[in-house]
Amino acid sequence: MKRKRNEYLEQGNGSRTFSQGGIRKKRGAVTYILKMLGGIVVLAGVMSLGAALYVWVQEGKNDSVPAGSPAVEITYTQKELDELLSEAGTQAGQAAAAAEAERILGGIEAGLAEGNTVVETLRPFYPEDIVVVSGGKFHFIPIRDDLKKHSLLQENLSLLENGEYQYLENGLVMSHKGIDVSYHQGDIDWTSVALTDVEYVFIRVGYRGYGSGKMVLDEQFENNIQGAAEAGLKVGVYFFSQAVSEEEVLEEANFVLEQIAPYQVDFPVVFDVEKVTDSTARMNRLTVEVRTSLAILFCEAVKEAGYTPMIYHNMEMGALLLDLTRLEAYEKWFAYYGTDFYYPYAYQIWQYSEKGYIEGISGEVDMNISFKIW
């Protein structure tokens, strides 16, 4: 059971969930903490002057002491000293908190003014968390030290004039360009696609209906896999799952394996696990444990058949809806349409856009770069 505590919900994975109002209150809590820290700093500075505090008032330098009077030593009781230190700490803490608040608010204002979303603006202020929006709430998920991290460097990412990305090391292009397609792209001229610098394509085999639960073969699967292979492109495949039981997920795996058996599939066979926006979608109701177990069953069936299994997921799925500690053995395909390597965990393919344009395909197509070739 989730319990409300200090304006946020603590979840079993150590994450913290805030409503937008909760974020405003959390900022107040941060300010209070900063005040306390400021007081401690001042206290340490004052105490470093000596074990006891005393003030000598010299002749003529204090209006309360008549001129010509001898030097007067003013002493303080422990209680008075504590009160002075407390007041000094409070004042310094308030000043430090005000400066920090001004810095944070300035950063938020600048981020929003640049057109960033609220979640993108918040992320730099939580470097130890993954900040993601799900279910209308902001979630702050601690980054796990026991999961593999990627080693990608932002300065190595190159944005080309056509809007595509490349990843370079020492000036050499290390990434590989690919696309993924389904019946949504219609009839594709694969000869024209092959004349571009596309190296590989992921083709949807089919899907299970998120309402009906019925499995459906993608209308263009055979045309796409035959055309891509004949054009000399490397081929991988994926299946959009909505399985809610072990029986269903094994049915999906066997369906995929049966469909791809006549073809050369060098790239991974992918379990596409996504949260559907329709709240009644059957897979949305699964627990993290069950959803993760189903992904493992699919991947193991694919592996046993001699193919490379892979899991397609996005930020929300990786941070909140899958137990990645149980999925370390499988390669990952990560969908994120930002411009940075914010997501910390390891993945081998990055789907960075759903609005790409490739010769031979009418309309938009998903764009990917991979950091290896299978």
**Residue 301 has what pLDDT?**
98
Ranges of H-type helices in 307-349? 315-316
Determine the pLDDT at residue 48.
36
- The separation between CA 239 and the C-alpha centre of its own chain, rounded to angstroms, equals 23
d(CA 18, CA 23): 6
pLDDT of residue 16: 55
Q: What is the DSSP string of 155-183?
A: GGEEE-TTS-EEEEETTEE--EEEEEE-G
The whole-number pLDDT of residue 88 equals: 79
> What are the CA-CA distances from residue 297 to residues 66, 167, 247 (Å)?
91, 33, 10
Distance CA(186)–CA(207), nearest Å, equals 17
Characterise 7 by phi-psi region: left (phi > 0), alpha (psi -120 to 50), beta (else): left
Last residue of a domain, one of 107, 142, 177: 142
- Domain membership of residue 135 (yes or no) is yes
DSSP string, 204-231: EEEEE-TTT--EEE-TTHHHHHHHHHHT
* pLDDT value at residue 117: 87
Which domain-ending residue is among 90, 120, 142? Answer: 142
CATH number for the domain harbouring residue 306: 3.20.20.80
Query: Is 147 inside any structural domain?
Result: no
* Cβ atoms of residues 177 and 369 within 8 Å: yes
DSSP structural state of residue 124: G
Pair 39, 168 in one domain: no
Count of the separate structural domains present in the chain = 2
Place of tokens 């263009």: 220
- Kindly list the distances between the CA atom of residue 203 and the CA atoms of 180, 214, 365, in Å, as whole numbers in the listed order: 6, 20, 12
Q: For the chain, what is the mean pLDDT? A: 84
Instruction: Report, as ranges of residue numbers, the positions in the chain whose pLDDT lies below 70.
Output: 1-76, 81
pLDDT in tens, 302-343: 999 999 999 999 999 999 999 999 999 999 999 999 999 999
What is the structure's pLDDT at 96? Answer: 85
Measured CA to CA, the distance from residue 210 to residue 32 in angstroms comes to 47
**Closest by Cα among 286, 309, 282, 306 to 298:** 309
Residue 167 domain flag: yes
Residue 268 is predicted with a pLDDT of 98
Q: What CA–CA distance (Å, rounded) separates 241 from 302? A: 14
Domain containing 10: what range? Answer: 3-142
Is 311:333 a contact under the CB 8 Å cutoff?
yes
- Same domain flag for 136 and 164: no
